Chains A and B, each alone.
Chain A
Amino acid sequence: MSHQITKPAKSVTSAAAKDVAPALDFGHAWDYAPAPEGTDHVKIQPRYELFIGGKWRAPKSGKYFQTISPSTEQVLSEVAEGNAADVDLAVKAARQAYDKVWSKMKGAERAKYIFRISRAIQEKARELAIVESMDGGKPIKESRDVDVPLAAAHFFYHGGWADKLDYAFHGRRHRPLGVAGQVIPWNFPLLMAAWKLAPALACGNTVVLKPAETTPLTALLLAQIIEEAELPPGVVNIVTGAGETGAAVVAHPDINKIAFTGSTAVGKRIQRAIAGTNKRLTLELGGKAANIVFADAPIDQAVEGIINGIYFNQGHVCCAGSRLLVEESIHDVIVRKLKDRLQTLRVGDPLDKNTDVGAINSKMQLDRIKALVAAGEEEGAERFSAPCALPQKGFWFPPTFFTGASQSSRIAREEIFGPVLTVLTFRTPDEALEKANNTMYGLSAGIWTDKGAKIFWMATRLQAGVVWGNTFNKFDPSSPFGGYKESGFGREGGRQGLSAYVELE
């Protein structure tokens, strides 16, 4: 399989770049020779069926859809499109596995199956990382160093909970909910599958999982791992498809719990759809996180944090630091440093080990990013995009930020879900807080300052589920993650995340 290689960045010629040329002229100094991860070891089947009741089954729909590499537009495989009948089969298999096996099994035994999954992910880490980068477009250094190790860690962490649940709820009696229907997004395909499956299984539930339609492959490789780990048939069922398949999962009457990660708009539709049923629900939805930089912050660290906050995973991150709130006195310094730093970001082949920013996940997402960026320009904000050469094929967007945007502009309010940052300013901590909280979202926030008291003052007042002080985009299975306000409800990870999968008496 061949892959587009990052073209060496030409010496900068754009007007925007000329502004910063006196500060730093990178020229070819940052060009690296291509260092692509080899794909010869990876076997992607030409076609994948649905994983239901421990077996690979052709879909009742008879339909398949193609999954492509967003960096090359090459077709990687074709994948079964599950319909309501397929979802029904999967739920039946999950119900049977729940009633006959999984709910009766001792926690200590469930634990060992979950540990097996964790170990297998570690054993197949390289393969999983490569396929993740091929199917989703994210840089291999991220799939290799973040997605896959964290996925393994999530299974390992929750495996350990399975026989210790009596401690988790302060002595309250607990029982599993039954069959969980889980619908996950395309930005962290394998990791989201792990976030969803691991606590559900640890607490004794069985699962029907619906991966995102643009990134089904690593979930299907995970299904193979689950098969090889010899989990009892039906404990985990994976039904691929698009929105309609997900809707069939949500609507199925014999599902006890829905867990969804995705957009706020779809989350609201799900919440409305299951009103009046007894289905339990957790939602992990969108965000428009404020990353707040005070004048007393360690500036260079903060700049790295801003870059990581918004350009990590092409900005396809619900908790991305997409609104930079910078204290007015250091605005110009920060903007200059951001311009410099953007020119050193290597955009291109996701499989190249030096790539910082990969491909946009899909044409649809690229169109959305372009539309919002156009809106930003129309609303009079000043745009700066990294002057990098983009590959001809595939879906690409250069790392970009806007200055001079108003708090009410679309780029300052709407989730762009791409490598686009909006820079706003503030004068006092109160104003920073006011602006940071002035959003319907409340997933995450960042604070950069050398003053400990200020961090805690801000952290306790920010309406956000995760607050990073002098860091950003850190995740761990022991660390509860989830939103305030319209970023959803429920937590994933930690002791707190377990309660989404048990009924307490």
Chain B
Amino acid sequence: MASKKHVATETRTHEDEVSDTYSDNGALARVLGRGAEQRRVTVNKAYKMFVGGAFVRSESGRYFQVKGAGEGLGVDPETVNVPRGSRKDARDAVLAAKNALAGWSGRTAFNRGQILYRLAEVMESRKEELRLSLVRSGDSDAQATAEVERAIDRAVYYAGFCDKVHALVASHNPVAGPHFGFSIPEPMGVVAVLAPERPALLGLVSTLLPVLVGGNTAVLVASAADPRTAVVFCECLATSDLPGGVANVLLGQAKELAPALAKHREVVAMDAWSESSELRATLEREGADSVKRVKTHAPLEGAAWHDERVGQGLGWIERFLETKTVWHPVGV
């Protein structure tokens, strides 16, 4: 290899120098006979929402634009168009989540754990892409690296939790009579999540995964501040063996999408992280007509999302579990 490189240097041309600057492998480019005027044009990614296991545009045809914060980072142009989800998109996503519910909640806890662990594996392999996406949205390298690593570790944490929840929250009930009684956790159903604006990745992972652990399916409204990272994460979901429709990710405006989800009768529960106390109150009010389990939160401080004692835990899973109590007589 070294001698080949040496030979190549001897015959450099101006075009080759230009090619070197832009190509990962100048030698290869030369072999292929390319020059500067033939510089490879990158294939830009169309950013789409993730619904029912497919990447989709908004049915409304609307979009919003995201500007890049750094130069020369990856393949994106300076300005990217992102679909702006509509209320109809939200309804479609709820339908997808509803259709996926029986399959996902019917899987064994062990199998759910395997799939979430697979998600962590895929995230690890796409770590650089996730990191670059965060940097593009304004994070420092160090911040982005720390956030991606924490997000992957959180996926591992929840993967391992799937078959432990029952042991911790179920009970045998020592009733005062000749009956055998027990209480078990069950998924609530379709859960809507309004993910925090920041941290875009860790916030999304921290709010989505505990919902899935218990067997719920989810419709999540991703951060409007950094929708691209959410899409890269969806590419991890799409390649992780997670059945289509189990996790659906909408892009757009929280104040448009979240109230529609809070009102939707097929959405059983909602986890909403928003700076706006007005929006939080609206969601609580809109949820009342279907006796929805609406949990609203002012977002945590940035560091708290990283804190293993604060940003994750059994309580995050338990919030979206119902308790079912079963009685049966004992006797012969």
A residues near B, CB below 8 A?
A: 153, 170, 172, 264, 267-269, 271-272, 274-276, 283, 285, 455, 459-460, 464-471, 474, 476, 478-482, 484-489, 491, 494-496, 499, 504
Please tell me if the beta carbons of A467 and B327 are within 8 angstroms of each other in the complex. Answer: yes
CA distance A316 to B284 in the complex (A): 30
**Minimum CB–CB distance for A88 against chain B, Å:** 24
Please tell me if the beta carbons of A268 and B176 are within 8 angstroms of each other in the complex. Answer: no
**Minimum CB–CB distance for A266 against chain B, Å:** 11
Q: Kindly identify which residue among A272, A470, A478, A487 contacts B285, using a CB–CB cutoff of 8 Å.
A: A272
Please tell me if the beta carbons of A271 and B174 are within 8 angstroms of each other in the complex. Answer: no
**Minimum CB–CB distance for B259 against chain A, Å:** 12
- B169 contacts which chain A residues (CB < 8 A)? 496
Please tell me if the beta carbons of B176 and A476 are within 8 angstroms of each other in the complex. Answer: yes
Query: Which residue on chain B has the smallest CB distance to residue A149?
Result: B176
CA distance A415 to B291 in the complex (A): 17
Please tell me if the beta carbons of B329 and A170 are within 8 angstroms of each other in the complex. Answer: no
Query: Which residue on chain A has the smallest CB distance to residue B176?
Result: A476
**Minimum CB–CB distance for B128 against chain A, Å:** 36
- A480 contacts which chain B residues (CB < 8 A)? 171, 173, 183, 323, 325
**Minimum CB–CB distance for A265 against chain B, Å:** 11
**Please, could you name 5 A-B residue pairs with CB atoms under 8 Å apart, sorted by A?**
A285-B291, A467-B326, A471-B328, A474-B175, A496-B171
**Minimum CB–CB distance for A263 against chain B, Å:** 12
**Minimum CB–CB distance for A172 against chain B, Å:** 7
- A478 contacts which chain B residues (CB < 8 A)? 173-176, 181
- B146 contacts which chain A residues (CB < 8 A)? none
B314 on the interface (CB 8 Å rule)? yes
Interface residues of B, count at CB 8 A: 38
Please tell me if the beta carbons of A271 and B280 are within 8 angstroms of each other in the complex. Answer: no
Interface pairs A-B: 4 shortest CB-CB = A276-B281, A275-B284, A271-B288, A275-B285
Please tell me if the beta carbons of A471 and B175 are within 8 angstroms of each other in the complex. Answer: no
Chain B positions 264-318 with a Cβ under 8 Å from a chain A Cβ: 268, 277, 280-282, 284-285, 287-291, 293, 313-315, 318
Query: Which residue on chain B has the smallest CB distance to residue A481?
Result: B325
- B282 contacts which chain A residues (CB < 8 A)? 275
Query: Which residue on chain B has the smallest CB distance to residue A484?
Result: B322
Q: Kindly identify which residue among B277, B284, B324 contacts A467, using a CB–CB cutoff of 8 Å.
A: B324
**Minimum CB–CB distance for B133 against chain A, Å:** 33
Please tell me if the beta carbons of B325 and A465 are within 8 angstroms of each other in the complex. Answer: yes
Please tell me if the beta carbons of A471 and B179 are within 8 angstroms of each other in the complex. Answer: yes
Please tell me if the beta carbons of A170 and B168 are within 8 angstroms of each other in the complex. Answer: yes
Once A271-B291, A272-B288, A485-B268 are accepted as A-B contacts, the answer to whether A479 and B280 lie under 8 Å apart by CB is no
CA distance A482 to B186 in the complex (A): 13
Please tell me if the beta carbons of A495 and B171 are within 8 angstroms of each other in the complex. Answer: yes
Please tell me if the beta carbons of B181 and A276 are within 8 angstroms of each other in the complex. Answer: no
**Minimum CB–CB distance for B91 against chain A, Å:** 19
Query: Which residue on chain A has the smallest CB distance to residue B310?
Result: A505
Count chain A CB atoms within 10 A of each CB in B177, B290, B322 and give the residue with the most. B322
**Minimum CB–CB distance for B326 against chain A, Å:** 5
Q: Kindly identify which residue among A170, A267, A479 contacts B173, using a CB–CB cutoff of 8 Å.
A: A479
**Minimum CB–CB distance for A347 against chain B, Å:** 27
Q: Kindly identify which residue among A275, A459, A471, A496 contacts B329, using a CB–CB cutoff of 8 Å.
A: A471
CA distance A283 to B293 in the complex (A): 11
Please tell me if the beta carbons of B173 and A476 are within 8 angstroms of each other in the complex. Answer: yes
- A504 contacts which chain B residues (CB < 8 A)? 315
CA distance A476 to B327 in the complex (A): 11
Please tell me if the beta carbons of A465 and B322 are within 8 angstroms of each other in the complex. Answer: yes
Count chain B CB atoms within 10 A of each CB in A153, A269, A489 and give the residue with the most. A489
Once A170-B168, A479-B183, A495-B171 are accepted as A-B contacts, the answer to whether A264 and B324 lie under 8 Å apart by CB is no
CA distance A459 to B183 in the complex (A): 11
CA distance A489 to B319 in the complex (A): 11
CA distance A494 to B179 in the complex (A): 16
Once A480-B323, A486-B290 are accepted as A-B contacts, the answer to whether A474 and B177 lie under 8 Å apart by CB is yes
Query: Which residue on chain A has the smallest CB distance to residue B283?
Result: A275
**Minimum CB–CB distance for B283 against chain A, Å:** 8
Once A496-B169, A496-B171, A496-B183 are accepted as A-B contacts, the answer to whether A486 and B291 lie under 8 Å apart by CB is yes
Query: Which residue on chain A has the smallest CB distance to residue B321?
Result: A496
- A455 contacts which chain B residues (CB < 8 A)? 328
- B315 contacts which chain A residues (CB < 8 A)? 172, 504
Count chain B CB atoms within 10 A of each CB in A172, A276, A465, A487 and give the residue with the most. A276
Query: Which residue on chain A has the smallest CB distance to residue B269?
Result: A489
- A264 contacts which chain B residues (CB < 8 A)? 291
Q: Kindly identify which residue among A268, A487, A496 contacts B289, using a CB–CB cutoff of 8 Å.
A: A268
Once A494-B183, A504-B315 are accepted as A-B contacts, the answer to whether A479 and B325 lie under 8 Å apart by CB is yes
Please tell me if the beta carbons of B293 and A489 are within 8 angstroms of each other in the complex. Answer: yes
Chain B positions 177-209 with a Cβ under 8 Å from a chain A Cβ: 177, 179, 181, 183, 186, 188
**Minimum CB–CB distance for B188 against chain A, Å:** 8
Instruction: Mark interface residues in B222-245 (1 if CB within 8 Å of A CB, else 0).
Output: 000000000000000000000000
Please tell me if the beta carbons of B175 and A476 are within 8 angstroms of each other in the complex. Answer: yes
CA distance A267 to B174 in the complex (A): 31
Please tell me if the beta carbons of A170 and B327 are within 8 angstroms of each other in the complex. Answer: no
CA distance A271 to B293 in the complex (A): 10
Please tell me if the beta carbons of A476 and B281 are within 8 angstroms of each other in the complex. Answer: no
**Minimum CB–CB distance for A77 against chain B, Å:** 33
- A488 contacts which chain B residues (CB < 8 A)? 291
- A470 contacts which chain B residues (CB < 8 A)? 328-329
- A153 contacts which chain B residues (CB < 8 A)? 176
- Beyond the given A269-B288, A276-B285, A494-B171, please list 8 additional residue pairs across the A-B interface where CB-CB is below 8 A: A172-B315, A275-B281, A276-B284, A469-B328, A478-B173, A479-B181, A494-B173, A496-B169
Once A268-B288, A482-B323, A486-B290 are accepted as A-B contacts, the answer to whether A170 and B171 lie under 8 Å apart by CB is no
CA distance A170 to B285 in the complex (A): 32
- A283 contacts which chain B residues (CB < 8 A)? 291
- B324 contacts which chain A residues (CB < 8 A)? 459-460, 464-467, 484
Query: Which residue on chain B has the smallest CB distance to residue A476?
Result: B175
Please tell me if the beta carbons of A276 and B327 are within 8 angstroms of each other in the complex. Answer: no
- A494 contacts which chain B residues (CB < 8 A)? 171, 173, 183, 325
CA distance A173 to B277 in the complex (A): 26
Query: Which residue on chain B has the smallest CB distance to residue A489?
Result: B293
- A271 contacts which chain B residues (CB < 8 A)? 284, 287-288, 291
- B277 contacts which chain A residues (CB < 8 A)? 276
Count chain A CB atoms within 10 A of each CB in B277, B287, B325 and give the residue with the most. B325
Q: Kindly identify which residue among B181, B287, B314, B323 contacts A170, using a CB–CB cutoff of 8 Å.
A: B314
Query: Which residue on chain A has the smallest CB distance to residue B318?
Result: A499
